[in-house]
Amino acid sequence: MLYSLYEAGYYAATPMRLAALAAREFWSSPLNPAAETEMARRLYAGSDLFANLTRRYGKPDWKLDSVEINGKAVRVRAQTEWSTAWCKLTHFSRDMADLRRAGKTALEPAVLIVAPLSGHYATLLRGTVEAFLQDHEVFITEWTNARDVPMLEGRFDFHDYIDHIREALRHLGPRPHVVAVCQPGPPVLAAASLMAEDGEECRPASMTFMGSPIDARLSPTVTNKLAEDRPFAWFESNMIKNVPPPYLGFGRRVYPGFVQLASFMSMNLEKHQEAHRNYLSHLMDGDGDSADKHLEFYDEYLSVLDLTEEFYLQTIDVVFQRYLLPKGELMHDGRRVRPERITDIGLMTVEGENDDISGIGQTQAAHRLCLSLPIEMKEDYIQPHVGHYGVFNGRRFRDEIYPRVRGFIRRMEDGVHARKPARKSNVTRLRTAP
C-alpha cells in the first residue's frame, strides 16, 4: 500500500509541478523584461526548487565520454560485456590510439569494481571509475532496479549476488583485480574464498575492500545498531512492499529505494535542509555555479533503486544480525565459505576516520579472516578526515587513497606469476569481535 501511495503522490503533484516548470521558464526568459528583478528571481528560485523536489529521478548517465591521462584526452566508451536480468557488466573501453598518444603502451591490469546494491545506482561511483581509468582496464557491475524485473525472472538473493560476482570475474580472464565498495565486501570475500578453494584460473590477483561491513560487530554505527535492535520480523513487516503497476516487476516484493533514501536523509536531515536553503539563496542571488553543484550532487543522491525482498532480508540476517562470515558459519550451495583458504590473492582494506556507515575495524576484519595470506600480500589504510563517501570519491580519494590502491594493485600484478613462499602473519591494529 505504501508504494502505491507514494506513486499516487507523485502523479497527484504533476499538475503543480508542470505549473512550477511553466513559471520557472516564464520568469527566467530573456524575453521577459522583468526577468532581472528581485521579484522575478525569487519566483524563479521557488518554482525551480518545487519542480526539482517533486520530479522523478531516474538512473543517471555516466557522463564519462573521455578521461585525461598524462595531460591527454582519452576517449572512453561504455559497453556491456555480459548481462543477466539482474546485472550488467560494463566495460569502460579506452581508445587505443588516444592511449598511445598519452604514452600508454603496455597492457594494463583489469579491475572489476563491484558497485553496492544498497539503494543507489552504480553511477554513484563515477569518480571512482574515473580515477581507476588512469591506469587500468575498468569494469563495473550495474545492478538492475528490482521493480523493472518481471516476476517470471524469479528470485535474486544474497547467494545469487555471490554467483554474479564469480561470473563477472570469469569474464575478465585470468587473475583480474577486484575492488568492493561498501556493501559488496562480504559477498566479494565469499566469492574470492570459493574461487581460491576451487583453484579457479580467474580468481582475483588482489581484492580491495573500501568501507565494507566485513564484521559489523566492530565499532557499531547507527546503521548497525538499527539492524541489531530490531527483530528480523520487524524488517520483513515494515520495510517490504509490493511493486505496483505499471512497472514490469508488478507484484514483486521489494525494499523500495525511496524508503532507504528517507532513512539516509533522516540521518542528516538538518544538513539536507540547509543545503536546499542555500540552493534557493544561490538561485535568488544569481550564483549559477553553486546552484549547479547542488543539482549535480542531488541528481545522483536522489536517484535510487529497489532491492528484492530476499536479497535485502538475507543481507540483514547474514551480515548485520548473525555475522555468519566473520564467525565462519556462512554456507553457499551447501559449502562452508572459508577465507582461510585464500593463499595468493592480495588483500587491501581502506577505511575512513569519520565513517558513520561502516565503523573503523569492520573492514580491517578481512585480514583476520584471511589467515593463510603472507603479510607481504596485505595492506591496511585508514584515511584521516573523511566519512563514508570520502573513502571512494572526492579530492582525498583521488589524491591520497587511489594512489595507494594503484600501488598495491601494481605490486600484486608484478608478483602474480613469481610469488615466493613468505612468512604468514596478521595485520596489526585489528579489533577483536565480542
DSSP string computed for 227-274: HHHS-HHHHHHHS-EEPPTTSTTTT-EEE-HHHHHHHHHHHTHHHHHH
Phi-psi group of 154: left, alpha or beta (phi > 0 → left; psi -120 to 50 → alpha; rest → beta): left
37 is written with which cell numbers? 528583478
pLDDT of 406 higher than 90: yes
Residues 178 and 169: their CA atoms lie apart, in Å, by: 8
267 vs 142, which has greater pLDDT?
Answer: 142
Q: In the structure grid, which three cell numbers stand for residue 54, read together?
A: 517533486
Options 3.30.1330.10, 3.40.50.300, 3.50.50.60, 3.40.50.1820; CATH for 66-231+308-415 is 3.40.50.1820
pLDDT per position as a tens digit, 249-303? 999 999 999 988 887 787 778 888 888 888 888 888 887 788 888 888 888 888 9
- What's the pLDDT tens digit per position in 167-225? 999 999 999 999 999 999 999 999 999 999 999 999 999 999 999 999 999 999 988 88
pLDDT value of residue 297: 83
- Report the 10 Å Cβ neighbour count for 397: 23
Mean pLDDT of the chain: 91
**Sorting pLDDT into bands at 50, 70 and 90, what band is 420?**
very low
Q: What are phi and psi of 279, to 5 degrees?
A: -60, -45
Q: pLDDT tens digits, residue range 374-389?
A: 999 999 999 999 999 9
Q: What is the pLDDT of residues 332-345, one digit of tens each?
A: 999 999 999 999 99
H or E element that contains 99: helix 96-101
Give me the percent of the chain exceeding a pLDDT of 70: 96
Residue in 114, 119, 337 with CA at minimum distance from that of residue 223:
119
Average pLDDT of span 395-424: 81
Q: Report the length, in residues, of the chain.
A: 434
Cβ neighbors of 2 (< 8 A, separation 6 or more) are 241, 256, 259
* pLDDT at position 418: 55
Q: In angstroms, rounded to a whole number, what is the distance separating the alpha carbons of residues 313 and 233?
A: 10
CA–CA separation, 303 and 61 (whole Å):
11
* Residue 428 CB partners (closer than 8 Å, separation 6+): none
Question: Does the pLDDT of residue 89 top 70, yes or no?
Answer: yes
**Amino acid 251: pLDDT:** 95
pLDDT of 125: 95
Report the distance separating Cα 347 and Cα 368, nearest Å: 11
CA angle 407, 368, 224 (to 5 degrees): 95
The mean pLDDT value for 59-81 works out to 94
Instruction: Say if residue 429's pLDDT is above 80.
Output: no
Tell me what pLDDT residue 422 has.
44
- Cβ atoms of residues 86 and 160 within 8 Å: yes
**Which range has the top average pLDDT, 34-38, 106-110, 283-287, 357-361?**
357-361
* Mean pLDDT, rounded, for 92-107: 92
pLDDT band with cut points at 50, 70 and 90 for residue 431: very low
Q: What's the pTM?
A: 0.90
| Alpha-carbon radius of gyration of the chain | 23
Lowest mean pLDDT among 153-162, 190-199, 224-233: 224-233
Determine the Cα angle at 408 with ends 406 and 409, to 5°: 65
Please state, for a pLDDT cut of 90, what percent of the chain lies above it.
71
Query: Please, where are the H alpha helices in 364-423?
Result: 365-369, 395-396, 402-415
What pLDDT was estimated at residue 300?
A: 84
What are the tens digits of pLDDT across the range 14-38?
Answer: 999 999 999 999 988 988 888 888 8
